[in-house]
């Protein structure tokens, strides 16, 4: 069993580059299931139905989300029927915070949760909620997308769930980390998968907008960066031998 998890898709550059590179990823890694974080797909603001259909047609099995889940209100009209899960602790009544993917005779539980440190919004504590779900559901494998700002919170969650969840990925900060590993009790982990979208922006946004914001305190709206694109992902191999492999692709300028 192989599961490919693709880091946060940012805007049209991320959507188009992912679609272009999926055939190569399939050929090289031969994943059984492809999951992607889609909370920034609509130019940094959630997910639209048109984008959802386009990416599903390209071969994505399931989307996880994050703190921008509801930035595009159109999602409320179709999330209940879609292969999209939103964070289990965001307080929403629409959608679900988890799902089970059936692949042949195996059940894969996929959970989405939000961190609470430095997120500027108060969310329900995710720790016991996720642990309780893992203990109550029946599955063969489990994966948690923990959408959080602080690396320390991601690592703490990983150790808290070590041996209870098979795979855990961090998302949200858009920069791929260099700490992919198996934890002492068997959980496959990385602090952040990275993003799929513009290479030379500031985590997806035009660099001048963000530089202006830091230096001159001018809060202009975000603009998706142009130029070369990147794709970041991880591949989980669950049998016969368990391992996590980091993937990074980028265009030449």
Q: What is the pLDDT of residues 162-194, one digit of tens each?
A: 999 999 999 999 999 999 999 999 999 999 999
Q: What is the pLDDT of residue 253?
A: 58
Q: What is the pLDDT of residue 103?
A: 96
CA distance 1 to 106: 9
**Domain range list for the chain:** 2-250
Helix then strand then coil, in percent of the chain rounded to 5, is: 25, 30, 45
- Residue 109 pLDDT more than 70? yes
Note whether 205 and 225 are within 8 A (CB).
yes
User: pLDDT averaged over the chain?
Assistant: 96
Predicted TM-score (pTM) of the model is: 0.96
Answer yes or no: 68 catalytic.
yes
CA distance 28 to 34: 13
CA distance 231 to 248: 6
Mean pLDDT of 85-110: 96
- Residue 120 pLDDT more than 80? no
Note whether 113 and 146 are within 8 A (CB).
yes
Contacts of 205 (CB under 8 A, 6+ apart): 44, 222, 223, 224, 225
Write the class of the CATH domain 2-250: alpha beta
CA distance 94 to 192: 27
Q: Which of 12-21, 176-185, 217-226 has the lowest mean pLDDT?
A: 217-226
């Amino acid at each position: 069993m192989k599961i490919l998890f693709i880091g946060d898709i940012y805007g049209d550059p991320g959507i188009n580059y992912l679609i272009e590179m999926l055939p190569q990823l399939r050929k090289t890694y031969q994943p059984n299931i492809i999951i992607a974080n889609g909370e920034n797909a609509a130019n940094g603001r959630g997910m639209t139905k048109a984008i959802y259909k386009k990416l599903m047609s390209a071969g994505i099995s399931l989307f996880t989300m994050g703190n921008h889940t509801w930035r595009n209100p159109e999602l409320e009209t179709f999330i209940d029927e879609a292969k999209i899960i939103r964070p289990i602790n965001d307080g929403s009544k629409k959608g679900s915070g988890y799902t089970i993917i059936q692949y042949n005779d195996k059940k894969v539980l996929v959970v989405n949760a939000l961190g609470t440190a430095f997120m500027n919004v108060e969310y329900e504590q995710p720790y016991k909620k996720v642990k309780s779900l893992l203990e109550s559901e029946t599955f063969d494998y489990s994966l948690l997308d923990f959408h959080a700002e602080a690396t320390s919170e991601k690592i703490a969650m990983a150790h808290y769930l070590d041996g209870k969840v098979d795979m855990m990925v961090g998302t949200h900060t858009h920069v791929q980390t260099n700490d992919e590993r198996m934890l002492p009790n068997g959980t496959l982990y990385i602090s952040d998968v990275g993003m799929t979208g513009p290479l030379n922006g500031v985590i997806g946004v035009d660099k001048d907008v963000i530089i202006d914001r830091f230096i001159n305190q001018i809060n202009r709206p975000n603009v998706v960066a142009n130029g070369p694109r990147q794709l970041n992902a991880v591949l989980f191999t669950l049998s016969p031998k368990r391992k996590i492999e980091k993937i990074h692709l980028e265009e030449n300028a």
